[in-house]
Amino acid sequence: MELIFIAALCSVVVSILLKVARNKGLSPIHMISWNYASASLLCFVWFKPDIQHISMTQTPWLLILALGILLPSVFLFLAQALQTAGILKTEIAQRLSVVLSLAAAYFIFQEQFNQLKILGIALGISAVLCILLSHRQSSGQGSQGMLYLGLVWMGYALIDVLLKYTTSLGLQFAVALNLMFVCAMILSMLYLLLKYHHLGSGKDIGLGLLLGVLNFANIAFYVKAHMLLKDTPAIVFAGMNILVVIFGVIAGLLIFKERLKPASTIGLILGVISVICLAYAMSV
């Protein structure tokens, strides 16, 4: 359980760091780009991918490229959502992207669903709608918040679906993950050079590398928890998602003084119940 706790904490600290850095005038896109440099290196050291399995014909390069574009793009949407909608709603939207992933599993991968899983998906979608509606304001900031929350929700679900499809092709997880990080780093750096003509300030680079350490730690400890608790994946799934939501709420209320509107509170409760239903559905 300690591994799940650390993974969830790292996930929320990433969001806190992005939001604080933005408030301090630092550049999220530069930090996100450099994040993939340290994440790529740590992935190679930690998972020791078998690079001999990389092939020009067998490796799904189009999927790797698509994820190399999606990963930094959705990360940037996350940074914008944190700024316009707050950490509390953003973390809930990010975690509830799982309901779209599961819906895709039903329609695309022909996965069999029981009634409890269908209920969990319905509750999760209702939770996201409550959160989006709670942020519906007449101001441009409110409209932007809704837009970026929606993009975070759909973006993380799309990444999850593509990752699942990639692993179904037989490509090893470590190799795929490393290639995606490297691709995201290269494309992000090229974008920075073309748009800004520089790779960022010393603070941008330093915080970006730290962001990559936290981002990778989140993945590494989550995967390790799944390996150690391979007979009870539902515990890992539920524990991770619920802890991230709880930590996000605490950070939003205590650190950033965000307020829970009635619709947000309903969305939060529905979200937690949704995760519990989905976790229990996985265990039966």
For residue range 126-168, what is the model confidence (pLDDT) as tens digits?
988 888 777 665 445 567 878 899 999 999 989 888 877 776 6
Assigned token pair, 15: 């969001």
**Cβ atoms < 10 Å from Cβ of 227:** 10
Residue 249 has pLDDT above 50, yes or no: yes
Mutual orientation of helices 28-47 and 173-195 as an angle, nearest 10°?
150
Q: Domain map of the chain by residue range?
A: 2-283
Burial class (CB within 10 angstroms; exposed 0-12, middle 13-18, buried 19+) of 199: middle
Assigned token pair, 154: 């759909």
Q: Could you tell me which of 248, 255, 276 has the C-alpha nearest to residue 11?
A: 248
Instruction: Output phi, psi for 49, to 5 deg.
Output: -65, 145
What does the chain come to in residues?
284
Task: Give the global pTM.
Answer: 0.88
Q: What is the pLDDT of residues 51-68, one digit of tens each?
A: 887 878 777 888 889 999
Helices (H), 108-232: 115-134, 140-168, 173-195, 202-228
